[in-house]
Amino acid sequence: MLPLLLWCIVGGLVALLATIRVQLVLLHADPTAGWFAVVAGLFVGGGLLALVCIVGFRFRSLRKMGLVVFVTPLLFLGLGYYGTAHYPPHNFKTSDTAAEWTTLHPTLRLALWLVALEDRRMVLTDIAREPAEYGQMGLKAQGRSPHYLHGDGYAHAVDLRVSNVGETRNWARQGLFLLMGLQAIRHTGTADHLHLALSG
């Protein structure tokens, strides 16, 4: 029983990581892929989880295998849509930040939602910015920033609060995002925070 449980946990984690990594590969090939990359990544992740289930539970019936292969990617797609559309209101620093949720790139939204399933104290402090805001924060003006809205209409970065959890949780959170293939940099600007962005 324990080996099966371990197999399912590890397989599920690999499927979730693959979901984001496939999206990043597609976005690297075509930065405008957007929602196509999200859907493709979810189907690949769902397919991997289906394979994990088939091997782990030793399905031999073609009917059962077909059902798992059909249902699991659709389940991933449904959960992925929910994850990109909804984020707990109490996990935003301000109502203004919450209003910017839909301007954040959907791949980042999905990654944040997946991590927030376990890390319920994760607070988003900053998403989209205008160039003038850097001066207002006492920072040097930026010619380019992943926080700006890009040609695809989305901000490619978000800042996370680090002061409300311990260092171990912050390291684990940062490591998980890095495993997904995202940029996750701990630095100070106006305050200590974790800067999460699409690679490239």
Contact 42, 76 (CB under 8 A): yes
Instruction: Give the pLDDT of residue 189.
Output: 62
Answer with the one of 85, 107, 138 that is the final residue of a domain.
85
More confident: 99 or 148 = 99
Structural domain that includes position 43: 2-85
Does 50 lie in the same domain as 67? yes
Q: What mean pLDDT is predicted for residues 138-167?
A: 83
Q: What mean pLDDT is predicted for residues 147-174?
A: 89
Instruction: Give the pLDDT of residue 7.
Output: 83
54-63, 75-84, 92-101, 126-135: lowest mean pLDDT where?
A: 126-135
- φ/ψ of residue 121, rounded to 5: -95, 5
DSSP state of 76: H
Instruction: Give the pLDDT of residue 200.
Output: 63
Does 187 lie in the same domain as 127? yes
Question: Mean of the per-residue pLDDT values for the chain?
Answer: 88
Query: Taking the model in full, what pTM does it have?
Result: 0.90
Query: What would the two tokens of residue 82 be?
Result: 């929910």
Q: How many domains does the chain have?
A: 2
Q: What mean pLDDT is predicted for residues 117-129?
A: 87
Q: Ramachandran region of residue 181, left (φ > 0), alpha (ψ -120 to 50) or beta?
A: left
Does 113 lie in the same domain as 78? no
- Residue 113, CA atoms < 13 Å, CB-side half-sphere: 22
- Asked if pLDDT for residue 137 goes beyond 80, the answer is no
Q: What mean pLDDT is predicted for residues 83-100?
A: 92
Contact 109, 120 (CB under 8 A): no
Instruction: Give the pLDDT of residue 141.
Output: 62
Does 101 lie in the same domain as 66? no
DSSP state of 181: T
Q: What mean pLDDT is predicted for residues 83-94?
A: 91
Sequence length of the chain is: 200
Does 120 lie in the same domain as 100? yes
- Rg (the chain; Cα; Å): 18
Answer with the one of 65, 85, 105 that is the final residue of a domain.
85
- E strand intervals along 127-173: 157-161
Percent of the chain at pLDDT exceeding 70: 91
From the list 89, 99, 144, 87, the residue with the least C-alpha distance to 126 is: 99
Contact 187, 195 (CB under 8 A): yes
Answer with the one of 29, 55, 85 that is the final residue of a domain.
85
- Asked if pLDDT for residue 66 goes beyond 90, the answer is no
pLDDT band at 132 (very low <50, low <70, confident <90, very high): low
With H, G, I as helix, E, B as strand and everything else as coil, classify residue 155. strand
